[in-house]
């Protein structure tokens, strides 16, 4: 994932549109390198970040209670499977 994507998070029949924005480093040759950090936002409201380990297996949510663990796990699973 190199561009922001929208993720429709269904919570008890209510749909929240979460923007997932990958943080990338630009290498000297111009290539983009993923950092494993993804910013989450709902409209203009920041929801924190999901930070993955190097293997994209384990993750941590840095938000301040805006999303539950179960909700964040759905987003993390989406990020991990994106492009497969």
pTM score of the predicted model? 0.88
Going from N- to C-terminal start, the domains of the chain cover 5-81
The pLDDT assigned to 83 comes to 66
52 token code pair? 């993955």
Residues in Cβ contact with 22 at an 8 Å cutoff, skipping those fewer than 6 apart = 1, 2, 3, 4, 34, 35, 37, 38
Tens of pLDDT, residue by residue over 51-75, are: 999 888 899 999 877 899 999 999 9
- Helical residues (DSSP H) of the chain, grouped into ranges: 69-81
């Amino acid at each position: 994932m190199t561009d922001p994507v929208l993720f429709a998070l269904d919570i008890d029949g209510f749909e929240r549109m979460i923007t997932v924005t990958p943080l990338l480093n630009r290498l000297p040759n111009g290539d983009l390198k993923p950092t494993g950090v993804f910013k989450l936002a709902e409209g203009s409201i920041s929801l924190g970040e999901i930070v993955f380990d190097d293997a994209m297996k384990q993750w941590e949510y840095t938000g301040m209670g805006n999303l539950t663990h179960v909700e964040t796990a759905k987003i993390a699973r989406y990020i991990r499977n994106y492009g497969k």
